[in-house]
A and B are shown apart, each in its own frame.
Chain A
Amino acid sequence: MAAPAQRRIIFQHIDEPGYSNDLACYVRNGGYEVLKKSVTRPPAELIDEVKKSGLRGRGGAGFPCGVKWGLVDRKSGKPIYLIVNADESEPGTFKDRYIMHQDPHQLIEGTMISCFANNVKQAYIYIRGEMPHGARILEKAIAEARAAGFVGKNILGTTYSCDIFVHRGAGAYICGEETGLIESLEGKRANPRIKPPYFPAVLGLYQCPTIVNNVETLCHVKYIVEHGGDAYTKVGTPNNTGTRIFCVSGHVQRPGYYEFEAGKITLGQLLYEVCGGPLPGRTFKAVIPGGSSAKILRFGERFKGKRKVGAEMVDYDWGVEDVPMDFDSLGMIGTMGGSGGVIVMDDTVNMVEALANINAFYSHESCGQCTPCREGSLWMKKITTRMVHGQARNEDAALLKSVADQIPGRTICAFGEACSWPTQSFIAKFGDEFKQYPETKKTAKPAGAHELV
Chain B
Amino acid sequence: MIAPPKPDLVTVNIDGKEIAVPKGTNVIEAARLVNVDVPHYCYHPKLTIVGNCRMCLIEMGLPAVDPATKAPIIDPATGKQKINWIPRPQIGCGTNVSPGLHVKTTSPMVKEAREGVMEFLLINHPLDCPICDQAGECKLQEQSTGYGRGYSRFIEQKNVKPKRTQLGPRVTLDDERCILCSRCIRFSKEVAKDDVLGFVDRGSYSTLTCFPGKQLANNYSLNTVDICPVGALTSTDFRFKMRVWFLKQTNSIDPESSVGANTVVWSREGQIYRVTPRRNDEVNDTWMADSGRELFKAVNAPDRLATTASIDTLVAQAAALFKANSTPGAIAVVGSGRSSVEEQFLTKQLAAALNATASTHLVSRVGQGDKLLISADRNPNVRGALVTGLISALPSQKLTALAAAIDAGKIKVVVSVGEDLAAVGLTAAQLAKVSFVYLGTHVNPTSAAAQVVLPTLSVFEKNGTFINQQFRLQKFAKAVPGPSGATDDLIVLAKLVTAASARLSSAPLAAIPSDLGSLWKLLAAEVPVLGPITYANLPETGLLLDATPFVALPFVEGETLHFKPVAPAVAVTV
The interface of chain A, by Cβ under 8 A from chain B, is 172, 174, 189, 191, 194, 196-197, 363-372, 374-379, 382-383, 386, 399, 402, 406-407, 409-412
Contact = CB atoms under 8 A, between A and B. Distances in A.
B338 interface: no
Nearest to B112: A406
B180 A406 contact: no
Contact of A367 (B55, B113, B202): B202
A375 B57 contact: no
A369 B180 contact: yes
Q: Is the interface of B mostly helix, strand, loop or mixed?
A: loop
A375 B154 CA distance: 11
B156 A379 contact: yes
B198 A189 contact: yes
A363 B179 CA distance: 17
A409 B116 CA distance: 12
Given A375-B120, A375-B121, A364 B202 contact: yes
A172 B202 contact: yes
B124 interface: yes
A174 B203 CA distance: 11
B203 A372 contact: no
A377 B205 CA distance: 12
B94 A372 contact: no
Given A371-B121, A382-B156, A194 B50 contact: yes
Given A364-B203, A410-B117, A194 B51 contact: yes
Contacts of A364: 202-203
A93 B94 CA distance: 34
A375 B157 CA distance: 13
B54 A365 contact: no
A410 B203 contact: no
18 contacts: A194-B50, A194-B91, A196-B94, A368-B199, A368-B205, A370-B51, A370-B52, A371-B54, A371-B121, A372-B54, A372-B117, A375-B121, A375-B124, A379-B120, A382-B157, A383-B156, A402-B153, A412-B51
B52 A369 contact: yes
Given A365-B202, A368-B199, A379-B123, A406 B116 contact: yes
A372 B156 contact: no
A255 B199 CA distance: 40
A104 B153 CA distance: 51
B49 interface: yes
Contact of A409 (B88, B153, B154, B157): B88
Given A196-B94, A366-B204, A368-B202, A412 B120 contact: no
B94 A194 contact: yes
Contacts of B113: 410
A107 B153 CA distance: 50
Interface in B452-507: none
Q: Which 6 A-B pairs have the closest CB atoms?
A: A406-B116, A375-B120, A368-B206, A382-B156, A366-B203, A409-B88
Interface in B79-94: 88-89, 91, 94
A370 B203 contact: no
Interface of B: 49-55, 57, 88-89, 91, 94-95, 113, 116-117, 119-121, 123-124, 153-154, 156-157, 159, 179-180, 182, 198-199, 201-206
Contacts of A371: 52-55, 117, 120-121, 179-180
Nearest to B124: A375
A32 B68 CA distance: 43
A374 B204 contact: yes
B367 to A, nearest CB: 35
A402 B120 CA distance: 12
Contacts of A386: 156
Contacts of A406: 116-117, 119-120
Contacts of A197: 94
Given A374-B203, A375-B120, A368 B57 contact: no
A375 B123 contact: yes
Contacts of B201: 368
Given A363-B203, A372-B116, A410 B121 contact: no
Given A410-B54, A412-B52, 10 more contacts: A174-B202, A189-B198, A191-B50, A363-B204, A368-B202, A370-B52, A370-B54, A372-B116, A374-B206, A378-B205
A398 to B, nearest CB: 10
A378 B51 contact: no
Contacts of A412: 51-52
A378 B154 CA distance: 11
A383 B199 CA distance: 26
A386 B154 CA distance: 12
Contact of A410 (B57, B119, B153, B204): B57
Contacts of B199: 189, 368
B89 A410 contact: yes
B352 to A, nearest CB: 61
Nearest to A378: B204
Contacts of B121: 371, 375
A194 B202 CA distance: 18
B89 A409 contact: yes
Contact of B204 (A196, A368, A383): A368
B197 to A, nearest CB: 12
Contacts of B50: 191, 194, 369
Nearest to A416: B54
Contacts of A376: 120
Nearest to B91: A194
Contacts of B54: 370-372, 410-411
Contacts of B88: 409-410
Contacts of B202: 172, 174, 364-368
A197 B159 CA distance: 33
Nearest to B207: A368
Contacts of B52: 191, 369-371, 412
Contacts of B51: 194, 370, 412
Nearest to A379: B123
Given A194-B94, A378-B203, A399 B153 contact: yes
Residue of A174, A189, A194, A374 with most chain B CB atoms under a 10 A cut-off: A374
A172 B203 CA distance: 11
Contacts of B49: 194
Nearest to A395: B153
A189 B91 CA distance: 22
Contacts of B206: 368, 374
Nearest to A406: B116
Contacts of A367: 202-203
B228 to A, nearest CB: 16
A89 B116 CA distance: 29
A201 to B, nearest CB: 18
Contacts of A402: 153
Contacts of B154: 379
B192 to A, nearest CB: 18
A47 to B, nearest CB: 23
A410 B156 CA distance: 24
A399 B57 CA distance: 23
A370 B156 CA distance: 21
Contacts of A377: 203-204
A375 B120 CA distance: 6
A368 B203 contact: yes
A363 B203 CA distance: 7
Contacts of A194: 49-51, 91, 94
Nearest to A399: B153
B108 to A, nearest CB: 14
A370 to B, nearest CB: 5
Contacts of A382: 156-157
Contacts of A375: 120-121, 123-124, 204
Residue of A194, A369, A379 with most chain B CB atoms under a 10 A cut-off: A369
B332 to A, nearest CB: 60
A328 to B, nearest CB: 21
Contacts of B179: 371
A15 B413 CA distance: 102
B498 to A, nearest CB: 65
Nearest to B201: A368
A344 to B, nearest CB: 28
